[in-house]
């Protein structure tokens, strides 16, 4: 790669993408999703796909497409109380159209606020049940008085359209795939939505910049219905997926967090935990069937080894799913660190091969093969030499690079470099079972 990960150019690119996407009114379908994907296409060559309304997808059906042009509430004096143009969060997603006047008690049946967070606007949806609603600050709601008729207006429609998603495949030298996904359906929230999009875009650039053994498939999808639709329409591709990550909430100040796949101790799980352990404070969560799209990919019928990477966990911080999750809540340093960790996981799983020592009887003469050459300072040289010895000692066809890293305490990058040197010297060969490291 041309520059260290997390350098100013990458940070500026991520921040610019988030700033451009923040105002867009996104949902699980509609023009907001298409606008989002067009902006992503300015960063990476994502292909855009449309799945028609009514398409059966597993136990679900692709819903009608929803679009909205305008929405507001006016008080009895004609003053605008909330307006979609101020924030996409003011309108409950998938609200049906309405123009009416009503009393305050009638209106309150369709108003959503957060009494415990009175200055924040909540994020509310009604995807699969026809309804309408507005979201507002609770401190504003408490000022409303029943002194006349309030006017409400929502200019929206439901059509036989489609569900839209984006996909980028970076081919490797083998047919085995790693799936990396992020959701694109949440409007006007920076951490829970946009930080994942921005970091995954930069990660895709890094993956595409170097030759890879594994194929990497990047998905930009609406939450839940997007992953269900993709799984239903890509049964053949699913067979090649050996692991993956759902990326979301990667810009806040919390410690990096890995939620393990349903299938524990898989290579992607071991590599992710190995990388995080080498980087200091972090959190590992056991799998549970709630959260983001990992629960779809890990469902028993598919049982893909897909974990989730983020920072603070959804629902555990007060800004979650509110207007407080704005661009100021996301920190460039956190996104940069998240990108570095994800890139290390990607590099680690791509290099996580199982080797066999081709000279297993005694220690081979390393000096005449220039494997004790000066590689820098004394500490670096010693680390490189120990990596060579550990790779020779444990490469018996049963241990992959991650397993050797865990036992030796040497990071995977150093061990993978030692494996490359030993392989070039004819001392290591790949296991006769090349898929061992993927199971």
247 pLDDT more than 70: yes
What predicted TM-score, i.e. pTM, was given to this entire model? 0.93
Q: Of 222, 68, 189, give the one whose Cα is nearest residue 134.
A: 68
What pLDDT is stored for residue 383 in this prediction? Answer: 79
The band of 5, judged by pLDDT with boundaries at 50, 70 and 90, is low
Mean per-residue pLDDT over the chain, rounded: 94
Using one digit for the tens of pLDDT, what is the confidence trace for 118-170? 999 999 999 999 999 999 999 999 999 999 999 999 999 999 999 999 999 99
**Residue 382's pLDDT is what?**
74
Residue range 216-235: average pLDDT?
98
Q: Give the whole-angstrom CA distance, residue 273 versus residue 15.
A: 28
Q: What is the mean pLDDT of residues 313-319?
A: 93
In the DSSP assignment, the letter for residue 123 is P
Tens-place pLDDT, residues 367-408: 888 887 644 444 456 778 999 999 999 999 999 999 999 999
CA distances from 424 to 320, 357, 392, 415, 420 (A): 50, 13, 13, 14, 6
Reported as a single tens digit per residue, the pLDDT across 259-300 is 999 988 899 999 999 999 998 899 999 999 999 999 999 999
Mean pLDDT of the 12-34 span: 97
pLDDT higher than threshold 80 for residue 235 = yes
Residue 125 has a CB neighbour count (10 Å cut-off) of 19
> Which residues lie across from 122 on neighbouring strands?
322
| Mean pLDDT across 202-213 | 97
Q: Specify the pLDDT at position 2.
A: 44
pLDDT of residue 105 exceeding 50: yes
Residue whose C-alpha is closest to residue 195's, from 186, 317, 349: 186
pLDDT for position 192: 95
Q: Do 154 and 107 contact (CB within 8 A), yes or no?
A: no
């Amino acid at each position: 790669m041309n520059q260290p990960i997390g350098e100013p150019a990458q940070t500026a690119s991520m921040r610019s993408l988030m700033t451009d996407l923040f105002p867009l009114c996104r949902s699980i379908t509609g023009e907001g999703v298409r606008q989002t994907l067009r902006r992503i296409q300015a960063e990476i060559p994502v292909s855009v796909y449309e799945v028609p309304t009514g398409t059966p997808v597993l136990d679900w059906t692709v819903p009608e497409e929803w679009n909205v042009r305008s929405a507001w509430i006016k008080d009895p004096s004609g003053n605008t109380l909330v307006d979609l143009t101020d924030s996409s969060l003011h309108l409950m997603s998938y609200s049906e159209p309405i123009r009416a006047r009503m009393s305050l008690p009638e209106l309150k049946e369709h108003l959503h606020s957060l009494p415990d967070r009175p200055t924040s606007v909540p994020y509310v949806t009604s995807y699969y049940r026809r309804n309408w609603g507005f979201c507002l600050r609770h401190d504003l709601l408490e000022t409303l008085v029943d002194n006349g008729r309030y006017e409400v207006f929502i200019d929206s429609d439901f059509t036989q359209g489609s569900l839209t998603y984006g996909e980028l495949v970076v081919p490797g030298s083998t047919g085995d795939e790693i799936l990396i996904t992020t959701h694109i359906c949440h409007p006007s929230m920076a951490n829970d939505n946009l930080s994942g999009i921005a970091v995954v875009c930069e990660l895709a650039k890094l993956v595409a910049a170097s030759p890879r053994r594994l194929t990497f498939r990047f998905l930009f999808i609406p939450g839940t219905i997007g992953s269900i639709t993709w799984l239903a329409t890509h049964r053949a591709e699913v067979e090649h997926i050996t692991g993956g990550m759902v990326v979301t909430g990667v810009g806040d100040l919390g410690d990096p967090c890995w939620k393990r796949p349903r299938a524990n101790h898989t290579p992607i799980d071991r590599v992710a935990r190995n990388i995080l352990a080498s980087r200091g404070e972090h959190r590992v969560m056991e799998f549970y069937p709630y959260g983001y799209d990992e629960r779809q990919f890990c469902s028993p019928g598919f049982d893909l080894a897909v974990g989730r990477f983020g920072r603070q966990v959804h629902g555990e911080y007060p800004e979650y799913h509110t207007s407080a999750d704005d661009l100021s809540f996301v920190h460039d340093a956190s996104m940069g660190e998240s990108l570095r960790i994800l890139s290390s996981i990607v590099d680690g799983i791509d290099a996580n091969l199982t080797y066999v020592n081709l000279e297993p009887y005694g220690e081979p003469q390393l000096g005449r093969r220039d494997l004790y050459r000066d590689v820098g300072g004394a500490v670096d040289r010693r680390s490189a030499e120990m990596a060579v010895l550990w790779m020779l000692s444990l490469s018996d066809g049963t241990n992959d690079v991650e397993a050797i890293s865990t036992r030796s305490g040497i990071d995977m990058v150093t061990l993978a470099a030692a494996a490359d040197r030993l392989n070039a010297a004819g001392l290591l060969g790949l296991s006769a079972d090349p898929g061992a490291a993927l199971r």
